[in-house]
Chains A and B, each alone.
Chain A
Amino acid sequence: MSQVPFDPNPKFQEYATPGALVSTEWLAANLNTPGLVVVESDEDTLLYETGHIPGSIKVDWHTDLNDPVSRDYVGPEGFAALMSRKGISRESTVVFYGDKSNWWAAYALWVFRLFGHEDVRLLDGGRQKWEAEGREMTKVVPTRETTTYPVSPRNDRELRAYREQVLEHVNAKGCMVDVRSPQEFSGELTHMPDYPQEGTLRGGHIPGAKSVPWKRAAQDDGTFKGVAELRAIYEGEKGLSTGDDVIAYCRIGERSSHTWFVLTYLLGFKNVRNYDGSWSEWGNAVRLPIAVGAE
């Protein structure tokens, strides 16, 4: 069990897993708690170098978590080596935070969960809130002692969906959440000569997916909405329920990690997988079914 206490913040107590979030106040007061490791994971790989939460270390989604050759995550040995190098042990409580409302922090947290790292938490509001509150930032990179992290299997089955499984899910009329913007969902394209798109060959969405842009789960300050508001969106408006087998996707799996976190930890959905291949795989693959339009 975790040696680092949970944040007793009343807001978090209403979520399905209250211990999955920490507030900026709690983190500021607990930076030196033994067993706690703070990890910054950003879209912009330079942000950590411009200044970060004192004592925090950086895990880069591109250079640390991805396999350098194939489009996949690092394997068990690679992950164990990374953890050892970063000074994280299997028992560490890891608090993730990052830019862009924690997209990449949630994504890194999800990858840690693939390897069964138990105690993972997210800083509510992420880097944006910490900075907005004028809290201390430093350019000092801590030196941490290397650890011996056990080589642990990557269990993709429960948390990750592959293309073939998504296709089966489509045929079985399973629940899917497309967390991209409405324009990406409908398949609008604005191709013009010399305006290279960050792209895919086809626009639209996976048939049967419901559109819930990730941002609907977040408030302007980057923190998560309260449980009542979240339930109204995912359960009330979209008709999902906590027992459903749900697949979330976006373009490359980062924004959908944010929604995966919301459904799993805040609302208590039991069976949510992130399809990290997402639209950049589906929209480029041959002969996969695609739907266009707002519905």
Chain B
Amino acid sequence: MSESTAAQLPPGLAAVAADFADTPRELRLELLLEYADRLKPLPEPYASREDLMERVEECQSPLFAVAEVKADSVHIHATAPQESPTTRAFASIMQLGLDGLTPAEVLAVPAAAPLQLGLTELVSPLRMRGATGLLARIQRQVRAATTA
């Protein structure tokens, strides 16, 4: 990864990219699984109301996500089934990478950011499209919340 590419990512996502870059190839799936395990449980009301979140249709597994904007700070909540650990990992990485940023910072994340994390060799292009779809939807929700 070049310095200029990494510089475009917010610190949280840059840290994830660095984490993968520093991990030997054969251990990267293990690392991805560790990220999957770090996905936070849904708070209420989302835990009991999936319909309050948005389904990420690009993902082949049911992934629901919502971006809340409170006091100029973005909070990401997301859920995906246990049997879809890769999807959970993407959701977790977005949560770790974007949570707490300002709306402007979230909107400034390049659309291709998921492709810059060093995962494209591990994960199929269709899966990666699920990740970029997740980011696009988060950004659209943030845009809607801040222009409403």
User: Which chain A residues have a beta carbon within 8 Å of chain B's beta carbons?
Assistant: 43-47, 49-50, 61-63, 99, 194-198, 252
Closest CB of chain B to A221's CB: distance in Å? 14
Chain B residues positioned under 8 Å from A43 (CB to CB): 60
Q: What total of A-B pairs shows CB separation below 8 Å? A: 57
CB-CB under 8 A for A194 and B33, given A44-B86, A44-B87, A62-B123: no
Among A44, A49, A194, A198, the one with the most B-chain Cβ atoms within 10 Å of its Cβ is A44
Closest CB of chain A to B132's CB: distance in Å? 7
Closest CB of chain B to A138's CB: distance in Å? 15
Contact B84 A198 (CB under 8 A): no
Contact A46 B58 (CB under 8 A): no
Closest CB of chain A to B64's CB: distance in Å? 15
Supplied contacts A194-B137, A196-B133, 16 more A-B pairs, CB within 8 Å: A44-B85, A44-B86, A44-B87, A45-B127, A46-B32, A46-B36, A46-B85, A49-B30, A50-B33, A62-B123, A99-B83, A194-B136, A196-B58, A198-B58, A198-B130, A252-B126
Q: Is B124 an interface residue, CB under 8 A from the partner? A: yes
| Complex alpha-carbon distance, A182 and B68, angstroms | 35
| Complex alpha-carbon distance, A198 and B124, angstroms | 13
User: Which chain B residues have a beta carbon within 8 Å of chain A's beta carbons?
Assistant: 29-30, 32-33, 36, 57-58, 60-61, 82-87, 89, 121-124, 126-127, 129-130, 132-133, 136-137, 139-140
The 10 A-B pairs at the shortest CB distance, nearest first, are namely A46-B85, A62-B124, A194-B140, A46-B86, A44-B86, A49-B33, A198-B58, A44-B84, A46-B33, A50-B85
Contact A44 B61 (CB under 8 A): yes
| Complex alpha-carbon distance, A50 and B34, angstroms | 10
* Nearest opposing residue in chain A for B29, CB measure: A49
| Complex alpha-carbon distance, A197 and B136, angstroms | 11
Closest CB of chain A to B126's CB: distance in Å? 7
Chain A residues positioned under 8 Å from B32 (CB to CB): 46
| Complex alpha-carbon distance, A153 and B56, angstroms | 41
CB-CB under 8 A for A46 and B29, given A62-B123, A63-B121, A99-B83: yes
Among B86, B87, B129, the one with the most A-chain Cβ atoms within 10 Å of its Cβ is B86
| Complex alpha-carbon distance, A45 and B36, angstroms | 12
| Complex alpha-carbon distance, A101 and B60, angstroms | 14
| Complex alpha-carbon distance, A45 and B137, angstroms | 24
Contact B129 A45 (CB under 8 A): no
Contact B132 A45 (CB under 8 A): no
Contact A45 B57 (CB under 8 A): no
A47's contact among B83, B121, B127, by CB below 8 Å, is which?
B83
* Nearest opposing residue in chain A for B30, CB measure: A49
Chain A residues positioned under 8 Å from B30 (CB to CB): 49
19 A–B pairs (Cβ distance < 8 Å), ordered by A? A44-B84, A45-B29, A45-B123, A46-B29, A46-B36, A46-B85, A49-B29, A49-B30, A50-B33, A50-B82, A50-B85, A62-B123, A63-B121, A194-B140, A195-B57, A195-B137, A196-B132, A198-B58, A198-B60
Chain B residues positioned under 8 Å from A45 (CB to CB): 29, 86, 122-124, 127
